[in-house]
Structure 1
Amino acid sequence: MSSPLDAYRSVEKATLSGRDLEASVLLKAAQKLVEAQHRLADEKDLQTLDEALRYNQRVWTLFQSEISESANPLPEEIKTNLLALIGFIDRRTYALMAEPKPDRIDVLIEINRNIAGGLQAGSDAARVSEESQ
């Protein structure tokens, strides 16, 4: 480990549930997008936007891969809805790369935060259920 922070992150990753880890990654992507949005508005910084969009796209590509697995236990309707959402995220990402505008980033930030919140709520409910048994 190169620093105490790296050690903490390693332990955090090992102790987070799947949902918590997914929520954490989405919130990190949202934070990167917020930072990029501010830097784009203030400094016309396209590099930070590009990095944030690419990070966010990798996160959602991973989700798409997981959703597409035949062993994925999600109901088909949820899989279909998530794949449609991922399609929207891809289109918005490419539109932002072509025409970067700070106000157009909001929707990606909100999607990430809302999905992360849902994952965290589901994880909390699962923990309560396990503790009551």
Structure 2
Amino acid sequence: MHIAAQAYGRTSKTGLPTRELEATLLSQSAARLAAARDRRADDFALVVEALEENRKLWSLLVRASSAPESELPDALKQNVAKLGAFIFQKTIDLIENAEPEGFTALAEINRNIAAGLRGIPADA
């Protein structure tokens, strides 16, 4: 089972608020993406693993935000869906051409969303 799905499944056991869990998973994924960027020339398996983990995490985030029981405003649901679509396309692009800027972009998106979930301003 995927790391993010396992973590979501353990949320009720840990008592960790969903927002903090999502922020933590996004931060961890950003770190894995940065490591994959730095080792992309010599460890393609790491590249694929980091991209796949991030894609699965974003699949969960998009699914959760668009669920009927989601209390997010419609505009935010649409923004999450658009970000998810970008992430999915960029993932495909990076598997075909592992250019460093793409990894940096995905990691920055994750870091910024994590900061927002934690209530930290983007420029802090």
Please tell me the TM-score bracket, short chain as reference. Answer: 0.7 to 0.9
Deviations 1:94-129 (A, max 9, x none): 10011112222110000000000000117xxxxxxx
Provide structure 2 residue ranges, at least 5 long, that are not aligned to the other structure.
1-9
Structural mapping, 1:39-78, within 5 Å: 39-40=39-40, 43-78=41-76
TM-score, normalised with respect to structure 2: 0.83
Provide structure 1 residue ranges, at least 5 long, that are not aligned to the other structure.
1-9, 123-133
Larger-gyration structure (1/2): 1
Query: Structure 1 segments of 4 or more deviating over 2 A?
Result: none
Letter in 2 for 1:50: V
Q: Distance in 1 between matches of 2:118 and 2:106?
A: 18
TM-score, normalised with respect to structure 1: 0.77
How many residues are aligned here?
110
Q: Distance in 1 between matches of 2:20 and 2:119?
A: 9
Q: Distance in 2 between matches of 1:72 and 1:105?
A: 29
Question: How large is the RMSD of aligned CA atoms in angstroms?
Answer: 1.7
Deviations 1:53-107 (A, max 9, x none): 0000010000111112111000001101110111011110110011112222110
Identity of aligned residues (%): 35
